Structure 1
Amino acid sequence: MTERHIQTPIMHRVVVHNGIVFVGGTVADDMSVGLEGQTDQILAKIDGYLKEAGTDKTRLLSATIFLTDLNRKPEMDKAWKRWLSPEHFPTRATVGVADLGEDTLIEIVITAAASA
């Protein structure tokens, strides 16, 4: 069975299928806060999306992070490591992209296991 949560005009933010939680690309709401601040906002949103699906960040499986400037990756990593303890780190790819939209510096896509 497939469950869909948090519908937008173009997608569902969260889809659960066969025990896997898929969270679509997530960006910050306040683009004025810089990369670390945008990362903090996104991770807080992801916490809420995972809660909606009945799971949490300790069950992350993978993350794909899109950055407009890979030279600033340490700023993002600082927020990431503050949010998630090392024993719960998922697999992860950080990809440099030319543009994510006006003042958007980062977008994160994650996959997690549903709660047992």
Structure 2
Amino acid sequence: MTTSISRIHTGTRMSQIVTHGDTIYLAGQVGNPGDSVEQQTRDCLASVEKLLAEAGSDKDHMLQATIWLADMADFAEMNAVWDAWVPEGHAPTRACGETRLATPEYKVEVILIAARK
């Protein structure tokens, strides 16, 4: 039996959402280049919520998050926003690391996997 794969907001390079059965994979979400880490994190998480809703899920159904920071010195600032956003009792598994992002103005990128509601 083959499980269906659906791609939403697909371009030449990538899709913003890919679903496989009841699993939802989101592309990395970034905020506005040049904004603070706090604002970029808020923007990333707002994009995540919007895409999850479009795919039939929400943040209560998060499974795994990968967060990339351009500078680990921003870890506490990003976590303050993240911790306030994650529903109590619904924290996903998570990894956070430092890497060079697509442009120097990006400070945070959030990649998420969730289950369908």
Q: TM-score under structure 1 normalisation?
A: 0.92
| Runs of 4+ that moved beyond 4 A | none
CA drift of 1:103 comes to 0.5
C-alpha contact 1:22 1:112 (8 A) present in aligned 2: yes
Q: Which runs of 5+ in 2 are unaligned?
A: none
C-alpha contact 2:59 2:87 (8 A) present in aligned 1: no
Between Structure 1 and Structure 2, the one with more helix by share is: 1
Alignment CA distance shift 1:52-1:69 (3 Å)? same
Q: How many pairs align? A: 114
**Candidates 57, 65, 80, aligned match of 2:82:** 80
C-alpha contact 1:5 1:52 (8 A) present in aligned 2: no
**Aligned-pair Cα RMSD in Å:** 1.2
**Candidates 49, 52, 55, aligned match of 1:50:** 52
Measure, in 1, the Cα distance between the counterparts of 2:23 and 2:59.
13
CA drift of 1:10 comes to 1.5
Q: Which runs of 5+ in 1 are unaligned?
A: none
Query: 1:14 is matched with which residue?
Result: 17
Query: 1:32 is matched with which residue?
Result: 34
Query: 2:66 is matched with which residue?
Result: 64
Q: TM-score under structure 2 normalisation?
A: 0.91
Instruction: Name the % identity.
Output: 31
